[in-house]
Structure 1
Amino acid sequence: MSSDRAAERFEALLARAHEQLGIAVYDGLMSAGGPPELRDPDQMLGRLLASVHRRTGDAVVGRLARSRRGPSEPAGVGRAAPAEGLLMRRSASVRLKYREQAMNCARQYWPLDVVQVMGAAVDAVQKLIAGLEEEMLPDATRDRLLRVSSSLGRVLALPQHVQLPPALGGYDYVQEVEDYLSTCTWRLVAQARRSKQLLDGELAPYFHAAEISWLGMLEVSQDLGDDLDMAHREALSLSRAVAAVEEASTDFRGADLQLVDLDGVDLEGIRWDASTGWPPEWEKRIWKASLAAGTGQGELIVGAEPSDSTVPADI
């Protein structure tokens, strides 16, 4: 391994370690109710920790700036892993505390099933291409394409990124969820916009021409089909992102929640098991409100109301 390659790997490890340290500090503070009111001895320790973290960050940034890369080479140091895994790595107490905000965020970015919408658009254009290759256009073709254009308009109405106030260290959990969903949505909306422009601006005028140009219409339709295929893939990415947020907001199997203040927290739909640690005063209530998930793996789901039957303790 070359020395440059070894240096890059070392710098990537430093950047990753610094990021994880910041997340751990932030999650620890927020799960305990936010930054504590410091007394004099605590202030010295807190300032020392903050100084160490800041100096570590400065050192990492300095090393990255001095790294020897070509001008056209993309920066790979510190590149985040897929957000599906990162969300589940966050502290269970923080995921539980902010689960309602995270779920609401996911619902805002998933007001309609975009996978179904884009899949129907792809099917409609593929049928158009098949007809054009046979030089036949069914009577309903134009109406079908109008519906596709309308569906793309609904995709374009998906929410734009909302910039939240900067958080301590930049590790706010809700901000991370928002950034993840908005990035996937941005890619989908950009591809849907290109598809709609091609459909409305280049394909639709052929239906108003005095004579159909079969070859020209076929070429535009094929380009539109390619664009919609890409949009469909972006819709699948957004679907996976929403599922990852929901998973991080509901899966607390094996989590240690004994020190979490559960007052006011919506627990309905949470998945847990016998290894999940609840606050002692909540344990009986959780068991009574839960039902077996039926997966055969000892998984339980918290219901909206206490159950009339008792879940076996040895499930």
Structure 2
Amino acid sequence: MSSDRAAEPLDTLLARAHEQLGIAVYDGLMSRGGPPELRDPEQVLGRMLAAVHRRTGDAVVTRLGRNRRGPSAAVVAGSAAPADGLLMQRPASVRLKYREQAMNCARRYWPLNVETVMGRAVEAVQDLIAGLEEERLSDTTCDRLLRVSSSMGRVLALPEHVQLPLALAGYDYVQEVEDYLSTCTERLVAQVRRSKQLLDSELSPYFYGPEVSWLGMLEVSQDLGDDLDLAHREALSLSRAVAEVEEASTDFRGADLQQVNLDGVDLEGIRWDASTSWPSEWTERIWEASLAASTGEGELVVGAKPSDSTVPADI
């Protein structure tokens, strides 16, 4: 490249590249008999935009991967997790249409209450530390730690990330849910794996030795307590992520759903209010199947079947 060309502003270079690309596209079309007839312009435009979006995403991911040097788990996790309430910012029509897939995804990543499991593990180790500081252990301490190890094994069995097939807007939303939950789960599983290894390989052998080493057990127990505190925080993060998915899948107060095809959509448990707009042919059925929520704020909840009671007209 000449020195004059190198000195050109970036905007000039981009404009020239854009012009050359336009010429190449035009020549290519004309060489094939001219521009094709567009029978469905909106559909063609949608496909073009989706293709450009996917290619742009691939390019960005490739560039980030090329520039990233030894990413830490925290950096990777932070880039994948959406900001607070981002799922709720997706169109209500998409959230409603794919709510069942999103809820199923949340149930896969929350087959057990990991917040409770890790909370009990923290309590068990805190009690162990207190006993070791007093040089007095309960006869049930060892069995309790074995149960903690077993429960952590259940956390390690949480599902791994699933890469869904590429599709248009709807499945992109489900993939976003999948990525969000799996990111939280991966951090939790990694921390629990470290904690379980410390418990099984370094702490448990003390209980089977010829004599108790109070100082050694205390040191390992304190390290384990610190690790479990971190694991408990990750469990709380996963709990919040699941709650956010459930919120995005149930809260449709004030949403405009007039153009949504509700055939086959599970509406049970959906929260809505008088400002929610339903398709005209569904409005009566929705009112009949709904009950006033206990919040007292004009909120309604869709039931499994038409309600026997009447919803007040001033809701």
Say yes or no: TM over 0.5: yes
Matches of 2:210 and 2:293, distance apart in 1: 62
Question: Residue 135 of structure 1 corresponds to which residue in structure 2?
Answer: 135
- What is the match of residue 265 of structure 2? 265
Q: Deviations over 1:11-68 (max 9, x none)?
A: xxxxxxxxxxxxxxxxxxxxxxxxxxx9724349835983698399869x69x979xx
Residue pairs, 1:249-260, within 5 angstroms: 249-260=249-260
C-alpha spacing 1:296/1:109, structure 2 compared with 1 (3 Å):
same
> What's 1:212 paired with?
212
Contact 2:117 2:151 in 1 (8 A): yes
After superposition, residues 160-179 of structure 1 pair within 5 angstroms as 160-168=160-168, 172-179=172-179
> Following TM superposition, by how much is the alpha carbon of 1:165 offset from its aligned partner in structure 2, in angstroms?
1.3
Gaps of 5+ in 1: 1-37
Instruction: Map 1:298-313 onto structure 2 (within 5 A).
Output: 298-313=298-313
Preserved contact between residue 94 and residue 173 of structure 2 (Cα < 8 Å): yes
SS class of match (1:301): strand
- Give the letter aligned to residue 145 of structure 1: L
Q: Is the 8 A contact 2:82 2:180 kept in 1?
A: no
Q: Distance in 2 between matches of 1:52 and 1:179?
A: 19
Query: Aligned runs of 1:1-315 on 2, under 5 Å?
Result: 40-43=38-41, 46-47=44-45, 50=48, 54=52, 82-168=82-168, 172-315=172-315
Q: CA deviation at 1:283?
A: 0.4
The answer as to whether partners of 1:271 and 1:301 remain within 8 angstroms in 2 is yes
Which whole-Å CA distance do the structure 2 matches of 1:112 and 1:70 have between them? 35
Contact 2:81 2:180 in 1 (8 A): no
Q: Distance in 1 between matches of 2:255 and 2:133?
A: 58
User: Percentage identity across aligned positions?
Assistant: 73
Provide the C-alpha distance between the structure 2 equivalents of 1:305 and 1:70, rounded to a whole number of angstroms: 53
8 Å contact from structure 1 (residues 191, 231) kept in 2? yes
Instruction: Give the Å deviation of 1:100.
Output: 0.7
User: Is the Cα–Cα contact under 8 Å of residues 93 and 260 in structure 1 kept in the other structure?
Assistant: yes
The CA RMSD over aligned residues, in Å, is 3.2
Q: How many positions carry a matched residue from both structures?
A: 274
What is the alpha-carbon distance in structure 2 between the residues aligned to residue 53 and residue 153 of structure 1?
A: 42
Cα shift at 1:159: 0.8
Q: TM-score, normalised by structure 2?
A: 0.78
Give the deviation of 1:284 after TM superposition: 0.7
Counterpart contact for 2:124–2:145, Cα < 8 Å: yes
Bigger Rg, which one: 2
Cα distance, 1:294 vs structure 2: 1.9
Matched residues in 2 for 1:136 and 1:212: separation? Answer: 10
CA contact (8 A) 1:188 1:235 kept: yes
Q: Is the 8 A contact 2:81 2:179 kept in 1?
A: no
Does the residue aligned with 2:215 lie in a helix, a strand or coil? Answer: helix
Alpha-carbon distance between aligned partners in 1 of 2:93 and 2:40, rounded to the nearest angstrom: 23
> Which of 117-126 and 50-59 deviates more?
50-59
Match of 1:33 in 2: none
TM-score, normalised with respect to structure 1: 0.78
Contact 1:203 1:217 in 2 (8 A): yes
**CA distance 1:165–1:118, change in 2 (3 Å):** same
